Amino acid sequence: MQDNQYISPSTIVVSQENVFSKDAFGKDFAWGVAMASFQNEGAWDKDGKGESIWDKFSHKKNKIKDHQNAKVACDFYHRFEEDILLAKSLNFNTFRFSMAWTRILPHGIGKVNQAGLEFYHQVIDCCLENGLEPYVTLYHWDLPQSLEDKGGWTNRDIIDWFSDYCEVVTREFASKVKYWIVLNEPAGFTGLGYMTGYHAPGRLGMRNFLPAVHHAAMCQAEGGRIIRKNVPDAVIGTTFSCSFIEPYTNAESDIKAAKRIDALLNRLFLEPTLGLGYPVHELPFLQNMVKKYVHAGDMEKLQFDFDFIGVQNYFKLVVKGAFWIPYLKALEVKPKARNVESVTDMGWEISPDGMYNILKQFAEYKNIKQIIVTENGAAFKDELSDGNIDDNDRVTFYQSYLQHILKAKQDGVKVNGYLAWTLTDNFEWTEGYKPRFGLVHIDFKTQQRTVKKSGKWFREFLS
């Protein structure tokens, strides 16, 4: 993105006419659900699986709300068949899940665990037998603890470790899996895991964040190249957490603050892969990263021609200038402070216009071939009543976001798929089990699944 290309916020008028049907999105549109190994699988030490940073972090005291952990989670390890059949019954055609690196290489490198490969063969086969296209995410945040002990994402050797893991996985599943996603939200796992310490492995500060960013960006491209080499007909993507950023007022300090946050959240990992380098102009502190961690030849290696970019969007952000905040000199103006009441259970503003705007913003990059919305969804307080869950807020949420995606598509954005987050309620990282994001309710005491009204809405919409 060039300077001054800020897209001003606008009220997006979406037509309520009959155009809002599955068919309006086109015949080849992918409709799916997305989930992640750590959040769903459980069986954290079963059949030779090694410990991940999230196992270790979540077993410590006071890291997760109400001292919860994901040792069992949704028990997807034993119930994958039931869940895949559920996704099918809701008429989805795509099933996105991630592989746990530690199930395949318990120590991150070295000996391969056949039982781990076997598990993912079963998951993939089950998807294929049921007419669901598997989308495999190689990394959704559960780094092997043995590698973290060697420095994790801050150690440049991770480029080799990650490459070895990608080699094993892509050779093994080349004949079955066509759609691949290299990383899930690198800004998320480097920012929360290595800068604020809020997520695993709980490390803090620029000295951890900056090397982690560069090494994750290198792995993002390297992973793409390895998939291309090993899977001839692969469709390769990677995903980004994206939020449209609005300045609080028209004051120059707010507009500049919005640009800095936009660079951090939306551009940091996307632009190097497109050959545009890191957004050092808006984020001068990145110069330290470039000086210290970028080796000769890296800027070329950061580039990879992805077949699609995965946009993961939940909310927009409103920010204002704040000179006292280190590095970013910006602060979020929370919905409450703006008298905005429409928020989800996570406190995130329900902002379908933000989805439209971020899609339009990404569409301005000439080198993005195709966009897939690889995550979007909402947590609400769902209550079971007489065996039913009338999650009307979630139904309205999905309808409004989908209408804005359709509007973006009709305005020329090449968006060709939508994956809802998520199929079943699951383990929401440090928030534990309280935020419920599923189209299907789980009673975590009995593991019983109950399709919510939102799930039934998708079943109808996709029929």
Residues that bind ligand BGC (CB under 6 A): 36, 39, 184-185, 188, 241, 312, 375, 421, 428
Distance from C-alpha of 394 to C-alpha of 378, rounded to nearest angstrom: 7
User: Which CB atom, from 254 or from 382, has the smaller least distance to ligand BGC?
Assistant: 382
Both structure tokens of 428:
């929401």
- Give the β-pairing of 448-451 and 440-443: antiparallel
Give the chain's length. 463
**Least distance between ligand BGC and beta carbon 424 (Å):** 12
Min CB(431)–ligand BGC separation in Å: 8
User: Please, what sign has the CA dihedral across residues 221, 223, 224, 230?
Assistant: positive
Q: How far is the CB of 423 from ligand BGC (least distance, A)?
A: 12
CB of residue 30 to ligand BGC, shortest distance in Å: 17
Taking the complex as a whole, the smallest distance from the CB of residue 463 to ligand BGC amounts, in Å, to: 27
User: Is the Cβ of residue 274 or residue 420 nearer to ligand BGC in the bound state?
Assistant: 420
- The beta strand positions in 129-261, using DSSP E, are 133-139, 179-183, 235-241, 245-247
Walk across the sheet containing 317-321 and list its strands. 245-247, 317-321, 330-332
109 vs 123, beta carbon nearer ligand BGC = 123
**Interatomic CA distance for residues 380 and 343, integer angstroms:** 9
Whether cis (ω within 30° of 0) applies to the bond prior to 422 is yes
Element housing 124 (H / E): helix 114-129
Question: What amino acid positions are annotated as catalytic residues?
Answer: 375
Q: Which of 230/454 has CB closer to ligand BGC?
A: 454
Dihedral sign of CA atoms 279, 283, 287, 292 in order: negative
Chain centroid, CA 88 distance in Å: 22
> Taking the complex as a whole, how short is the minimal distance between the CB of residue 408 and ligand BGC, in angstroms?
20
Exposure of 72 in the CB half-sphere (CA atoms within 13 A): 8
Closer CB to ligand BGC, 294 or 317, in the complex: 317
For residue 58, the minimal CB distance to ligand BGC (Å) is: 14
d(CA 262, CA 5): 12
> Cα separation of 98 and 135, whole Å?
8
Are the CB atoms for 15 and 75 separated by under 8 Å?
A: no
Residue whose CB is less far from ligand BGC, 231 or 311: 311
Closest to ligand BGC by CB, 192 or 234: 192
Dihedral (CA of 65, 429, 404, 441) sign: negative
Residue 349's Cβ-side half-sphere holds a number of Cα atoms within 13 Å equal to 22
Strand partners, 343: 349
